[in-house]
Structure 1
Amino acid sequence: MLSGTATAQALPGDALETLAEHGVTALRHGSDLVTLQAEGVRHDFVLAHYTGAGMPPAALLDHARSAGLPVLLALASTSSRLAKTLAEENLHWVDLAGNASIRVPGLRVAIQGRPPVTVPSRYVVSAAFRPAGLQVLLAVLVMSQDRIPKLRSLADAAGVSLGAAQAAVADLRRHGYVDGDQLTRTGELLDRWVAAYGTHDSDRWIVGTYEGEPEWWTDAEAFRTDAACLGGEAAADAMGLPLRSLTGIVYSDDLPTRVIRFGRLRRANSGNVQLRHKFWSLPDEGWLAPSPLIYAELLKSGDGRRAEIAQEMRESDAILRSLRD
C-alpha cells in the first residue's frame, strides 16, 4: 500500500504523488485500485496505468469500468484537447506535472495549464516491452513461481535468443521488478504486460484465417496431437467461463491438420478463427494458450462483456491469482 510518496518504480506513482500538494492522499491497494482521501472524505477508484506513449488501450478502460468504480487515469502529460476528451468520457485523471481533474462528491481537484515535465526514463518503452521482450515476459509470468527462471530456460520457452532473454531480464531488474532472483510487484507487471500486448501488432503472428461452426474447438486431443494451443474467447469458453465463443485463435508451429479436420475449418478471408504462429514453448503446457495471453486477448478486443469475463478469469485462474503482489 502506498501513501503520498509512491515507490520510485511504481508506474502511476509519480502522478499520484502530485496529488499531495492539493491535500489529497493516495493509498494504493495492489496494482489496480487506489483510494483518494481528503478532509475525511474517501473514494475508491480503479487505476488505469500509464503504459508508455499515449493512452492505455480502450479495452483496459472498459476492464476498469467493469469493477463498478470510477476510473482514475495516470498520464505522463495532458494536453487541453486530451483533457476535453477525458471529460467527455467521464474519466478522472492526474499527470506527472500535477495537472488533474477529479470530480466526485466531496472531492474536487481541477488543475490545468502546468507545462509537461520530463518523462522519467523508466516510462520509455524498453527491452522488456518490445516484441521479443513481451515473449520473454510471458514466459516469466507463467514460469516464475516468484523467482526468475534461468536465462536459457527463458529463452527456450519464449522462442528468442539468449541475448534477448538476458536484455529483457536486465530491463526488468532496472525497473525494480526483479530483486536478486525474486520477481516483485507481479500484479503491476501483469498489468503492464497486458497493456503493452494491447498496443502490439499481433497481426505479425497471423498465418491464416478460417471459418468454423460453433464448437469447432472442442476436441482437445486434436490440439494435443497437433501440438497446437487454443486462444481467444474460445479458450475462455473452454475454461468454463460464461462466454459463448464466436471467435477463436489457434496457435501452432505447423499446419494443425487434426484441428482443421475435426473442426471442419475452411479458409476464409475474414473468418472467425485465426491461425497464428505459436511463439512460445513452455514446459508442461496443455492444449490451451497460457492464461495471461488469453486474459490479454479478451481485454484487447475492446468488448465490454469480454472485459467482464477477463476480470472473472483473473479471480479464478491459478496463475493470474498468483500475480497480485
Structure 2
Amino acid sequence: MATIERARGDESPLVTTVLRQLEHLGLAAQWEPGDRVLANVTTGTLHLADGALQRAIPAVAAPRAATADLTLLPHDDRTVLLTTTVSPAHAAQVHERGWGGYVDTAGNAFLRAEGLVIDIQGRRAPVARPTLSAAFTRAGLPVTFALILCNDVGASANQRKLVRLSGASIGTVNRVVRALRERTPPLLAPDGYELLDTHRLEAEWLSAYTALQPTTWPDERYSSSTWRTALDVVRATALPPGALLSSEAAAARLGAPIRPTTALFYVDDGGTGRRDLITQGRLRRDEEGTISIRPAFWRLTPSPPEKQTVPRLLLRADLLLEDDPRIDEIRRKFFDERR
C-alpha cells in the first residue's frame, strides 16, 4: 500500500478518525483542506490510493449533517460527505440529496470511484453529545432567530428587544450575544447588534433548527371537517391571529407554484391561537391527519406576518424538513438557493 505523508495541523479530529477508518479498509488516505464553509464545516479533497492507483475525490467534512446541511452544503454527484455518523436512513437521504457518497467515524461508507466500490452500513459510532454554541441550543435558537429577523427588516436590536421578541431571559440573551461575538470570525459586532455575516449565521441556524426540531418542538397531527385539503387552508380568508402557516402551505399562500398536501401551523405558546385554530377548523386529533400544529418557539416578530405566514427563515427551514424531492426545486427558486 502506498504511503502518504500527512501535513500536521490541517486535520480536525473528525477527519483524522475518518482517514483512520479508510486505512483500515486498506486505502492510503490523505485530506487536502479547502475552504471553511461554516464554523466546523470544511470543503476539501480526499486523496485515496491503493497500489499505484491514485484518486482525488471532492469532499465536505461536517461533524453534524442535518437535513438542511445535506441540501445546503456545496456538493455535486461526486462529492463525498465526511461526518460523525450515518445511519441507514440517513444514508438514503445522502443519496437522495445528490451526494456521491459518505464516510463516517464508525466506518460506515459508500464510495464509488475508478476501481473502487465500498458499501458498508450498520456500524455504530460511540454515542457523544456534540458541544453546541449557546446561540444554537434549544434556549438560544429563539434569540438568534430574533436577531436575524431584526436584521432582515432593518430594525435595530438591543437586549430588551431580544428578550421581548424571543421570550428568553436576559441571561440567555447575554449568553447568545457573547457566543456570537466570540466566534472566529465573529458573527456579531463587538459593540452593538449588527450582524457581520448574515449568510453564515442563517446557515448555522437552519442546520441547528432542523436537527433539534423533531424532538424539541414536535408536531401534533389533526384532521379537519372544515378544511378537507391543505388547499382549503391556503385559500382561507381569515385564520386565527395566534396561528401562522409554514411549510408547503405557506409557500403556496405566498405564491409558490406548489399544490400542498399538508398544512403546518405554529401557534402562540400560552395564548389562544391553538384553541382558536382547533375551534375554527373543527380539528380532531388524527395521527394520519394532514394538518399539523407546532408550538411557536418565539414570542413576537419585529414586523407583521406576511399573509399570516411565518418569517421566511423559518419557512425555509420547514421546507427543508419536509425532505421531499417534490418541492426541492421550488424551494431553491423561492429562496434563490445555490448548491
Identity of paired residues, percent?
22
> Residue by residue, what CA displacement relative to the aligned partner does 1:32-87 show, whole Å, maximum 9, x if unpaired?
8946498xx98766x47433xxxx33x346626997534432435x6xx979x969
Look up the match of 1:168. 176
Does 2:310 align with 1:289?
yes
1:158-215 deviation digits (Å, cap 9, x = unpaired): 1222222211222222333224244234333323222222222466465773433232
Q: 8 Å contact 2:243–2:273 — kept in the other structure?
A: no
Contact conserved, 1:136 with 1:160, CA < 8 A, in 2?
yes
Determine the C-alpha separation between the residues in 2 that align with 1:285 and 1:233: 20
Give distance in 2, aligned partners of 1:189 and 1:27. 20
Using structure 2 for the length normalisation, give the TM-score.
0.63
Q: State whether residues 92 and 101 of structure 1, in contact with CA within 8 Å, keep that contact through their aligned partners in structure 2.
A: yes
CA contact 2:57–2:79 (8 Å) conserved in 1? no
Secondary structure class of the residue paired with 1:173: helix
Number of residue pairs aligned between Structure 1 and Structure 2: 288
- Structure 1 position 273, deviation (Å): 1.2
Structure 2 residue runs of 5 or longer lacking an equivalent are: 1-6, 20-27, 48-54, 119-124
**Does structure 2 conserve the Cα–Cα contact (< 8 Å) formed by 1:49 and 1:192?**
no
- 1:247 equivalenced with 2:262 (yes/no): yes
Seen in structure 2, the aligned counterparts of structure 1 residues 142 and 106 have a Cα distance that, compared at 3 Å, is farther
- Show the 5 A alignment for 1:86-165: 91-93=101-103, 124-145=131-152, 149-165=157-173
Amino acid at match of 1:193: W
Q: Tell me, yes or no, if the aligned pair for 1:252 and 1:276 is still in contact at 8 Å.
A: yes
SS of equivalent to 2:232: coil
> Deviations along 1:209-231, whole A, 9 cap, x unmatched?
343323222357523x6243111
Conserved 8 A contact 2:82-2:103: yes
CA deviation after TM superposition for structure 1 residue 247, in Å: 0.9
Contact 2:235 2:253 in 1 (8 A): no
More helix by share: 1
Any gaps of 5 or more consecutive residues in structure 1? 111-115
Q: Deviation per CA, 1:123-155, whole angstroms, max 9, x where unpaired?
A: 612322221211112212222259982121112
| Alignment TM-score, normalising by the size of structure 1 | 0.66
User: 1:235: Cα distance to partner?
Assistant: 0.8
Q: Which residue of 2 aligns with 1:218?
A: 234
Q: Which has the larger radius of gyration?
A: 2
Q: Residue 312 of structure 1: CA displacement?
A: 2.7
Selected match of 1:230 from 223, 230, 245 = 245
- Asked whether the equivalents of residues 140 and 148 of structure 1 are also in contact (C-alpha less than 8 Å), the reply is no
Q: How far did 1:283 drift?
A: 1.7
CA distance in 2 between partners of 1:147 and 1:183 (Å) = 12
Name the structure 2 match of 1:309: 330
Measure, in 1, the Cα distance between the counterparts of 2:183 and 2:68: 22
Deviates more, 1:27-36 or 1:283-292: 27-36
Distance in 1 (alpha carbons) for counterparts of 2:198 and 2:168: 22
Contact 1:209 1:274 in 2 (8 A): yes
3-state SS in 2 of match to 1:289: coil
Answer whether contact 1:16 1:74 (CA < 8 A) is retained. yes
Contact 1:228–1:251, Cα closer than 8 Å, also in 2: yes
In 2 relative to 1, CA 161–207 (structure 1 residues): closer, same or farther, beyond 3 Å? farther
Q: What is the DSSP-based 3-state SS (H/G/I as helix, E as strand, rest coil) of the residue aligned with 2:149?
A: helix
CA distance in 1, matches of 2:171, 2:77: 43
Q: Which moved more, 1:61-70 or 1:236-245?
A: 61-70
Q: Secondary structure at the match of 2:140?
A: helix
For residues 137 and 6 of structure 1, what CA distance do their matches in structure 2 show? 32
Larger RCO (alpha carbons 8 Å, 6+ apart):
1
2:199 matched to 1:187?
Answer: yes
Residue type of the partner of 2:77?
L
Cα RMSD over matched residues?
A: 4.8
SS in 2 for 1:189: helix
